[in-house]
Structure 1
Amino acid sequence: MLENICKLARDAGDAIMQVYNGEKPLQTASKADDSPVTAADIAAHTVIINGLRALTPDVPVLSEEDPPGWDARRGWQRYWLVDPLDGTKEFLKRNGEFTVNIAFIDNGKPVLGVVYAPALAVMYSAQQGKAWKEESGVRNPIQVRDARPPQVVISRSHSDNAELAEYLQQLGEHQTTAIGSSLKFCLVAEGKAQLYPRFGETTHIWDTAAGHAIAIAAGAHVNDWTGRPLDYTPRESFLNPGFRVSIF
């Protein structure tokens, strides 16, 4: 199944890159929450939805671009959770830091995850407690790595948060790296960072599930600020609480 999902993520990435490279029109619009959506988001969504329905016709899908209502999701125990284009702002800035996120949720836990960065040609994946990074056709296992001072990865689009500034001040000696999309989870997973703190309800479940699967498979912890793992059991709100991805 993981190989099939990786191929599906690549196909979605190809559809995104057709827009990114100017082969197809951008067609930007704004959602109700003022977040941007482009033709690339919709194209990737279509590829993934069609692919998942063919692979697992009996498993429901929750995609950012067409989320089912609460009544439809209420009883779900196993489902696909998808962000066809995570980091649309980074896509529009043309910095390459955007991803395709596909996760499989089983009883509230992300047990399979794929994060593909098409502009960077990098694929991260995880299943059954193992995580990998694939570049240039070579796939290698990844795991977390301790380092002092720790490298802290922060959101490129949400780096001006007052709580984050206070937290970093209290953290002691550290270094920071800013990057977009779910790549923050992946940097912790592959040992290039040791901590990713996120404050406030600024992420949605589709933003985090695939990266969450990869991070925990590589040995990290993904907990809210009370110490409980992020949970994807269906609930009415799609928002996550604040959380930290950490090797500690």
Structure 2
Amino acid sequence: MQMKNLYIILLPLLLLVNISCDKGDAHYYDYNTQAPVFDGTIYEYLESQPGVYDSLLLVLDRLPDLRSKLKNPDSTYTLFAVTNRSFDIALEALNTTRSLTGRSNLYLEDVGLLDLDSMTNRYVINDVFDTEQLMPFIDGKLVTSTKNNYSMHIQFRVLNASGFVGGGQQQLIFSDTNNSIFQRYWQRVNTSVVNVKTKNGIVHILSAGHDFGFSKFTSKYSTQ
């Protein structure tokens, strides 16, 4: 009798565990099964996200050659998109440093075009690289930016989730190699969203904590 009562008590609990596991598995397999698709160019995608890429669009307005590339439906690129917050971080660091030496604040409308062009182009890669293409490269892949054949590096990884090792969100690590073959000199940033498909390429969105320019923005303009 006691065993029967124990079975009655345990049965609902076992069913609950099974349901939870099923949901966990579904959650596990749902990651990145369908990439977002935008019916327009990379530039039009940026325009379609008000309050997210205003600073990047302002920079592109100052860099017409790069803007034209991202508008061109007949070309293909991979953009690692920098959000407003990343520009805010860079400007705050820059102007804090400038204030210590009695210099006035600088803003995106003020900074020199040569270095701004070089830094921004590093986020735009020739050709299309999505996670499926990058997955086989265990050590990542060196890629070339749209300006000066500058080498950047992309590495694919999958985060852990729901108790599964490598069972979570797909992510890319995007690195400025600083013209070095030694990884200890590289500067890295993770993506928050990957594989946004557009008519002329792929957009990967960088984490909001990224410092635009990989910290070079501050060093370039702090004393000018």
- In the superposition, the TM-score normalised over structure 1's length comes to 0.25
Higher strand residue share: 1
Q: Which has the larger radius of gyration?
A: 2
- In the superposition, the TM-score normalised over structure 2's length comes to 0.27
Higher helix residue share: 2
- Structure number with greater CO (CA < 8 Å, separation at least 6) is 2
